[in-house]
């Protein structure tokens, strides 16, 4: 070929189309060179059109989060979400312990590609395959298989076929069925591998057996070789890394693996950080799938998208946001925070605090949080409240003593009778109105009867009498004694006789019927009404082997 023909051949390799050169061919070129140029123009025009059509097809098939084109070059990035079978688990070794986690999604494979001008007629795409959860060898095997797929379909576009293979067959091709063993910490340099194949411009096709560069990047860089079949050239791409950076900054194409790594705690080991990335990605993808699925509300039985529904994590029951929000608001307003559970019948699962916050708002959530804490403290056997009305702080008591001291106000009291601590004496002293009657007697008032029966008769005479009778009794015993102290004394006497203290939370409990197995209305624990013994799940053993009768 003449020098002019060689120059023309070189110019065809530097342009996307060579139509313009047919009118610029030198008059001295021979017929053979002219025919070569015409054929070359036709091939290049066909390659150009097929590349453009393929990229347009990929843009229409995949979402902007899955595919990004690198303008103005014929290249881009594809995020391939691998199909994960049901019951799939990832496992990693932490010392001698094997930790397994069941997941539904894996972080995507990143396929960065650049289309040479003679693709698909003569050369494959140059590509970089990136994955954080496959080993150096596994990612290299996938890269070699992509080359084999192109060779089997030489002359046709292959990117979509590559994506389908990575999505549907990658795990099966690597003999990964239901368990993925992640690299341990002593092989962390293999956690993130790149299998690269690039066809440089103006480079003749090498012989079979040429090896592909495989770059590996976690904390540094490492290189290895993987043999490549066929006559495909391979060298480490110089531009795709910069192209990746530009794509990662574009809207909707942030690097999810780098983002996951940035939010991972810095004290985690490399293997723990990798597991964290996988679990975060799995939770994110499951939430996206839930948000786009229609579910029937368990209350109103209407269909709602998951984005308008709430799924309780403990039981998995799903309700529309409106029904569950109204349900929680009513219960919290009434003060029944223990009732904020799953509305499904016979289900005791509860929504998370974060879910309650979004359902009821900040104001009601503050009430819910406060009442729930108070209710929880009341159910703890070693927590009591300061009996002072202006304090009411929670106090931790010693189990070996009935004495307690409030750390807020310094008041020492008896946890049984809620009075000032009285030492080893009885915590149920006789209630006396002696001091009050003495003061009244000094003013010319009569003392109250000494017996309880006399006090009860006097009180019934007072509340059942007319205005004149009440005025007479008030002038005889004192109005404050009749209206306040006598009524309070009789009320406390009735409570002391007809109620008992719960052995768990020391609340006053009244028995209103039934057997002697009592359930405290505050802490919801069982005890024997006769001897106040704390009852476990084996309730019958106490009544069969003891002196107490269950029914009487």
Query: What are the catalytic residues?
Result: 515
3-state secondary structure of 551: coil
Question: What are the phi and psi torsion angles at 512 (to 5°)?
Answer: -115, 20
Question: What are the phi and psi torsion angles at 194 (to 5°)?
Answer: -125, 125
Place of tokens 């060298």: 235
Question: What are the phi and psi torsion angles at 115 (to 5°)?
Answer: -90, 115
| Integer Cα distance of 505 and 377 in angstroms | 9
| Integer Cα distance of 63 and 79 in angstroms | 10
Q: Are 75 and 244 in contact (CB under 8 A)?
A: no
Question: What are the phi and psi torsion angles at 469 (to 5°)?
Answer: -65, -40
Q: Are 459 and 487 in contact (CB under 8 A)?
A: yes
| Integer Cα distance of 470 and 447 in angstroms | 16
Place of tokens 């403990």: 314
CA distances from 239 to 74, 75, 242, 442, 548 (A): 13, 11, 5, 106, 87
Helices and strands (DSSP H and E) totals, the chain? 16, 22
Q: Are 206 and 154 in contact (CB under 8 A)?
A: no
DSSP string, 403-418: EEE-TTT--EEETTT-
């Amino acid at each position: 070929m003449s020098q002019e023909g060689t120059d023309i051949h070189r110019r065809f390799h530097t342009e996307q189309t060579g139509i313009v050169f047919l009118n610029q061919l030198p008059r001295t070129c021979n017929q053979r060179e002219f025919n070569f140029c015409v054929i070359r123009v036709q091939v290049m025009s066909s390659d150009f059109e097929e590349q453009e059509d393929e990229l347009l097809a990929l843009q229409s098939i995949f979402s902007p989060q899955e595919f990004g084109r690198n303008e103005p070059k014929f290249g881009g990035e594809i995020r391939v979400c691998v199909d994960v079978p049901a019951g799939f688990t990832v496992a990693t070794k932490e010392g001698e312990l094997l930790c397994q986690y069941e997941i539904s999604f894996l972080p995507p494979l990143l396929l960065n590609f650049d289309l040479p001008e003679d693709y698909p007629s003569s050369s494959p795409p140059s590509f970089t395959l990136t994955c954080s959860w496959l080993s150096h060898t596994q990612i290299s095997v996938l890269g070699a298989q992509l080359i084999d797929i192109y060779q089997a379909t030489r002359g046709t576009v292959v990117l979509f076929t590559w994506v389908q293979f990575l999505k549907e067959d990658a795990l099966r091709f690597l003999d990964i069925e239901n368990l993925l063993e992640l690299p341990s910490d002593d092989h962390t340099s293999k956690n993130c591998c790149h299998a690269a194949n690039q066809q440089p411009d103006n480079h003749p096709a090498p012989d079979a057996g040429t090896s592909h560069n495989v770059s590996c990047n976690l904390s540094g860089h490492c290189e290895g070789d993987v043999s490549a079949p066929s006559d495909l050239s391979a060298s480490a791409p110089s531009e795709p890394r910069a192209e990746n950076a530009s794509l990662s900054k574009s809207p909707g194409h942030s690097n999810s693996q780098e983002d996951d790594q940035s939010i991972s705690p810095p004290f985690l080991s490399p293997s723990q950080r990798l597991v964290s990335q996988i679990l975060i990605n799995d939770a994110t993808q499951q939430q996206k799938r839930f948000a786009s699925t229609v579910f029937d509300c368990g209350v109103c039985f209407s269909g709602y998208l998951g984005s308008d529904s709430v799924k309780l994590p403990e039981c998995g029951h799903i309700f529309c946001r409106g029904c569950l929000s109204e349900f929680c608001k009513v219960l919290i307003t009434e003060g029944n925070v223990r009732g904020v559970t799953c509305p499904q019948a016979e289900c005791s699962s509860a929504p998370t605090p974060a879910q309650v916050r979004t359902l009821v708002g900040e104001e009601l959530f503050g009430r819910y949080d406060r009442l729930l804490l108070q209710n929880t403290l009341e159910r703890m056997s070693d927590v009591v409240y300061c009996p002072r009305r202006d304090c009411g702080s929670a106090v931790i008591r010693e189990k070996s003593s009935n004495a307690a001291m409030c750390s807020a106000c310094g008041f020492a009291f008896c946890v049984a009778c809620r009075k000032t601590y009285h030492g080893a004496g009885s915590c149920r002293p006789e209630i006396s109105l002696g001091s009050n009657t003495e003061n009244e007697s000094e003013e010319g008032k009569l003392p109250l009867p000494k017996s309880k029966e006399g006090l009860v008769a006097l009180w019934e005479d007072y509340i059942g009498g007319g205005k004149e009778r009440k005025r007479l009794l008030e002038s005889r015993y004192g109005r404050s004694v009749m209206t306040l102290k006598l009524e309070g004394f009789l009320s406390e006497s009735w409570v002391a006789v007809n109620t008992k203290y719960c052995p768990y939370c020391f609340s006053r409990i009244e028995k209103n019927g039934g057997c002697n197995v009592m359930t405290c209305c505050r802490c919801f624990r069982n005890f024997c009404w006769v001897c106040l013994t704390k009852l476990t799940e084996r309730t019958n053993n106490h009544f069969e082997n003891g002196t107490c009768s269950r029914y009487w």
